[in-house]
Structure 1
């Protein structure tokens, strides 16, 4: 069973283990997480041995690592592969990886059955035909769903409407004896906290839920909601798929995700969470719209016109196409898995890639030129560099960046951060409020947004609104410690983010701080905020980049760089 989210993989793993262990079946999980010691602040899932497993649950990348590294024989004789959320093929980042993974599974395990699942594919017949699968279309819904469009004249009207529908739903008790509970979707974490705080002040029991919270906090909210402690949970679209709770009603407070409107498939996925079989008699979806409202940066459409489209239009088709680098990544992954492959076999594999838009000869020329493969007598073989690249999930462009900077003796940590910068760093509400007051416009809370960076260098602004002394001193502190390069592009260059990320890693390595302690220190000293959950995922990603650097450095005979990368990994995991 393969899916796109670690949280979903873990849910299925626990479900399958409880269900099938009684039958003597062994269940194993593969999600590719590092082993960061963060105490109870986050759930660290350790990959298990798959050799003797009857059922393997994993993320796409978690399983693909075994294939790319040539260990696919450990999977044994696979009978069935279930690929959940198949619409991820449309995803710009992960689509090519999923496309390649399906082709690799088909090539390496030709007898296995593939079952693809999705609730949001607009072109199911075409997709089934492209994947050579038989379409099983089920359009019935076991719990009927009501849809309501509510017109609000302001944000305050929306809050009052949310309060009213939550109370009404809470008073509704199903024939099974369950009270009605609500999930509220909004477009940002900041807004989620604002809505939650307002509702709690009105006497309701409401929690905010998003990926930035620590694992114990998220788990506590999940259990509290399932046990009927909370009347409602406010969350963002970004984590909608990860919150699998038995709600009877879903409310759309906003139809935007960030600064763009949500898609039809996102809407259907979120709306589908209303009404749970065995608990509720019906599900209810409430869309709140403010006529004429537009979002900064979004396409020129109003909230009410988008709402009508979401209710009336068909689902978007799953479409896929990727460039030469995407094609090269997936070809290299297959060659790496096999070690050596006949050109005819490679052509057959390449024909299975749905999004491959480049000629295979051109792709092989690119890999050959970059030193990833060798070609002799109708055979294509992976080089040590190619194997290191494929198992590290590095793009060809990232390998070139790593090589350039490592050969120039750049600090290993700097290279890893350049490849995996941490952008989810926010200014405090105090700073944000002061800027909005001074400029009389809404400011993004993200430190590295253009608006925040633009006002930092106040000495270059002749008509700058008057800012308080403490804020000017704070900007000066940021400039001295983080944005201290001589670049013409400063503070819009990469040095500010690299220096701030190095500060975070330093707090972990030298002061041995845990996630919440790092967050508290940044807020206390710099009026900056990072969510512990975001910090955990970034450190996990940074570790994977460092391991990739170590593999590449060994190929390039840069022993010191390889050893340094491995030492940093060990110290991040267990400082």
Structure 2
């Protein structure tokens, strides 16, 4: 048999490991393991072998009596698959052992390279000195135990011995995995392989949290970064310092890819920008142009070229619109004055850039000042329209453009009518469309002008800037913005269209559709770090937040600005809660959300601008309107309400970190809890969502088809061309087809849309069936922003027969049916009592949420539970049941009756003359219910708009005398809802 073993081994290319057997520490038993070699390149120190050994054995050495040397006394082959211990070892001839040595390419004796590591002291890990001494002693004993093997190899004159590291953990389990400096990982005092290191981390953490596949990928990345199990585990320690060890949480850094040496440079003096505008920028120290601005100028910005500008925050997108629009205004006004009024242009022979000095103060001569004063009075024929999605952005941009008066350019604000705000002296329009040169407006404020048949008010506009063009993907407003852009392009074909965005998934596709040059600048002027912080529980998460906000506020940038923070969370309840907790920790923080009144929001904005606030906590829903110049953005939650953030939302929000010429670096931190899910229906965990957001692609702009919303845009364009009541004319079929082609979301059949609108009596053919015009009903619908189905339902209700059993509709109830008021919250005190006594933790403080309703349901409020509640809480719940949830519906209190009763209380209080603040206080005192003033104002505004829409529809159809009487009461009803008008304070 011996020759056969020798022959087999001679044909193989393998190496042998000889190591002390751990099961027999006091005896001279040694493991024998042989591996097939795949590649052995000693020059490049590359060894590859099959992971499974072809032979595993056990050898016992004994001392030879003749010469006192060690020889194999017994030799066995291990059967690793044996279930019976008696079959685990197969006896072999001890003399055959030498062949496993002699025919091997090399032998590895023991794990002597894997020595215990010395005393290491840092914030990650401390190895105790006493323990280290014990490990050294054990290691010396282990090395001494290898003496029989070395003695035997010397006797064979075998010198092909190599030194390799074994995985310490694998060795404990009778496996041998070779590791080197590139694939070794420290675990406590010894080195282990990657698999064992990963298993150790997972085994330690899975007792505390759920380990998902995505979380394992994160752990693997951290292990690769540190090569140390203890350091990785320490990241999840509540006392881990994420400030001192930023590299531990860093995912990536977005910074300039183009080197300054290769980047195009230019100033305002290098391009034919009107001199007055150059001076305006020079006084504001905006002489140097940013790369995106240079790209836009080189692609025809000053030559009426339509452009889609996609670049990050602080890349100068707004100034691109200004250079085109305000430049046209200045040139047009000067042309009117010099040619029509025969006035001399005092700026004609102005200085060139060679005369420019950074320290020079620009002062106008007396002649130039008079010329500018005259310019202000001139009506421009090349106006600029700046469109934004929300009022907050419009207000901010208007404040900036007020300064244009210094160079003879007037600005105005168009944000729609705010009935309740106007009574307090807040004007809707500061200036008028006819007098202003620059108009800053919300999408809907301009769209209503077009829908109501007043497009001629925009005939002098030559530059249209559409900010936040990514709103095309918004499910609620995307179709409206799409229709608005198409209507403007159709009515003002010569106007220069400029579209601005920081986040678009496929800008090439959009640019092709809107026939615009694409200016896509991917670099960031301010680098931004993105961090992922794993928080094992809520206290740890808040501890990290507190530390981040406090440290950020302590640091000043090279520009002299303090670090300030925006924290995004998922609900108003959490904004208030987090802001309050931060204030308790001596950090100036404010909650900022849609429920605040105008005055409170302006106070917070101003305080943040003046750097008096360290942190603003806001909701993801308000992200589009948050333009605070923050250096740090923290995602405390990755959901908006209960809906997970999209990649576009995340990019837009994280882009708020780092502002040019204010901050040197922007930072984004995601604080997540592994394994946490948001709803039962949404199974993606928080770390899975975080990873998807960090590496995901922005969602497509294209919206899924929606016939009702798309048909409404066809109705809107027909309404725009139905403004002349004296002529039976409308929009031609050719123009209608062209408009349809302009729609980005135009994937619907135009003929089907026309047939539907005709069938429901919203449009009619005119001019020998070559044009379409709205009916009175259709025009009322288009001007009211009602959905088509809502409008049809209102018409049905208004035109139905009136009887004693079925009286005329109540207009307030009809308006109420169009608007739900869901922003009703249980006070924190009440919620705490309910959660404590019921032993249930409510995930929401909304009165109509299932978690709150379940605690006041009839089944739950039994005698046993009643005895656990204190008297005040019990009486409040009884008041809720008697006054709010007092219906006999089978699914009460989960039906809509409670919400309708709250709405009824609001109307009763308002119609009785109570102010907004008084209504808020009554709900708090009587029902322990919290309603934010801003939410209440918004709801009453929606009710007023619905009443006006009902009134318009009522005038467009034939109604009964009783219904007409109800319609005539609408103006009085609206005045009562608006409340008494108050004069503004001087």
Other-structure match for 2:467: 84
Q: Deviations over 1:294-339 (max 9, x none)?
A: 2234621222222222222222221223322112211110111101
Asked whether 1:348 is paired with 2:738, we answer yes
* Partner secondary structure for residue 936 of structure 2: helix
Match of 2:762 in 1: 372
Counterpart check, 1:382 vs 2:774: yes
Q: Distance in 2 between matches of 1:571 and 1:486?
A: 32
Structure-2 separation of matches of 1:71 and 1:47? 19
Give the structure 1 partner of residue 956 of structure 2: 555
- Counterpart position of 1:309: 692
Which residue in 2 is equivalent to 1:107? Answer: 490
Structure 1 residue runs of 5 or longer lacking an equivalent are none
The answer to whether the 8 Å contact 1:458/1:464 transfers is: no
Counterpart residue number, 1:180: 563
Aligned equivalent of 1:505, options 886, 907, 932: 907
**Aligned in 2, Cα 1:483/1:159: closer, same or farther, shift over 3 Å?**
closer
Q: Counterparts of 2:754 and 2:516 in 1: how far apart (Å)?
A: 29
Secondary structure of 2:509 counterpart: helix
Name the CA shift for 1:268/1:551 in 2 (closer, same or farther; >3 Å). same
* Mapped contact 2:702–2:744 kept (Cα < 8 A): no
1:128 aligns with 511
SS in 1 for 2:591: strand
Give the aligned partner of residue 973 of structure 2. Answer: 568
**Which region of structure 1 is more displaced relative to structure 2, 283-292 or 522-531?**
283-292
Paired with 2:732 and 2:864, the residues of 1 have a C-alpha distance of 66
Deviations 1:186-232 (A, max 9, x none): 22222222222222222222222222122222222222222222222
Name whichever of 552-561 and 463-472 sits farther off: 463-472
Regions of 4+ moved over 6 Å: 460-464
Query: What do the CA deviations read for 1:76-104 (whole angstroms, capped 9, x no partner)?
Result: 22211111111111111101111111111
**How big is the shift at 1:462?**
7.3
Per chain length, whose mean CA-contact separation is higher, i.e. which structure has more relative contact order (CA < 8 Å, sep 6+)? 1
Q: Which runs of 5+ in 2 are unaligned?
A: 1-385, 723-729, 801-805, 981-986
1:190 aligned partner:
573
More helix by share: 1
Match of 2:930 among 525, 529, 537: 529
Quote the offset at 1:124 in angstroms. Answer: 1.0
Shift of 1:357: 3.4
1:11 matched residue in structure 2: 396
Q: TM-score, normalised by structure 1?
A: 0.93
- Aligned with residue 793 of structure 2, among 395, 401, 405: 401
Q: Is the Cα–Cα contact under 8 Å of residues 529 and 667 in structure 2 kept in the other structure? A: yes
Structure (1 or 2) with the larger CA radius of gyration: 2
1:432–1:61 CA distance, 2 compared to 1 (3 A): same
Match 2:593 to one of 196, 199, 210: 210
Per the TM alignment, residue 384 of structure 1 is displaced from its structure 2 partner at its CA by 0.6
Matched, 1:33 2:433: no
Match of 1:517 in 2: 918
Task: Tell me if the contact between 1:212 and 1:534 (Cα under 8 Å) persists in the aligned partners.
Answer: yes
Pick from 410, 414, 424: which aligns with 2:813?
A: 414
d(CA) in 1 for partners of 2:830, 2:410: 53
Q: Does 1:151 align with 2:550?
A: no
SS of residue matched to 1:374: strand
Note the aligned Cα RMSD (angstroms): 2.3
Aligned partners of 1:290 and 1:303 also within 8 Å: yes
Instruction: Give the C-alpha shift of residue 483 in structure 1.
Output: 3.9
Give the corresponding residue for 1:21: 405
Change in CA separation of 1:216 and 1:286 when aligned onto 2, cut-off 3 Å: same
Shift of 1:387: 0.7
Distance change (3 Å), C-alpha of 1:404 and 1:474: farther
Q: Which residue of 1 aligns with 2:501?
A: 118
Tell me the distance in 1 between the aligned counterparts of 2:876 and 2:793.
33
Q: 1:489 to 1:48 in 2, by over 3 A?
A: farther
Q: Which residue of 2 aligns with 1:246?
A: 629
Are residues 109 and 33 of structure 1, via their aligned partners in 2, closer, same or farther at CA, if it must alter by over 3 Å? same
1:442 and 2:842 matched: yes
8 Å CA contact retained: 2:846, 2:852: yes
1:72-131 deviations in whole A, cap 9, x for unaligned? Answer: 101122211111111111111101111111111111111112111111111111121222
Distance apart, 1:454 and its partner CA: 4.6
Contact 1:65–1:391 (8 Å) recurs in 2 = yes
Q: Across the two proteins, how many residue pairs are aligned to each other?
A: 572
SS class of match (2:817): helix
Contact 1:187 1:254 in 2 (8 A): yes
Q: How far apart in 1 are the matches of 2:882 and 2:492?
A: 57
SS at match of 2:834: helix
Question: What do residues 434-491 of structure 1 show as CA deviations (whole Å, max 9, x unaligned)?
Answer: 3333152324211222343455441697798446354454344334434444555544
1:268 to 641, 651, 655: 651
SS of alignment partner, residue 419 of structure 2: coil
Structure 2 counterpart SS, 1:293: coil
1:68 deviates by 0.3
Q: 1:37 to 1:86 in 2, by over 3 A?
A: closer
Give the 3 Å change call, closer, same or farther, for CA 476–47 of structure 1 in structure 2: farther
For the residue of structure 2 that corresponds to 1:136, the secondary structure is strand
State the alpha-carbon separation in 1 of the partners of residues 626 and 743 from structure 2.
32
Counterpart-to-counterpart distance in 2, 1:247 and 1:380: 51
Q: Structure 1 138/126 Cα, relative in aligned 2: closer, same or farther at 3 Å? A: same
Preserved CA contact (<8 Å) 1:172 1:179: yes
Query: Retained in 2: the 8 A contact 1:188–1:258?
Result: yes
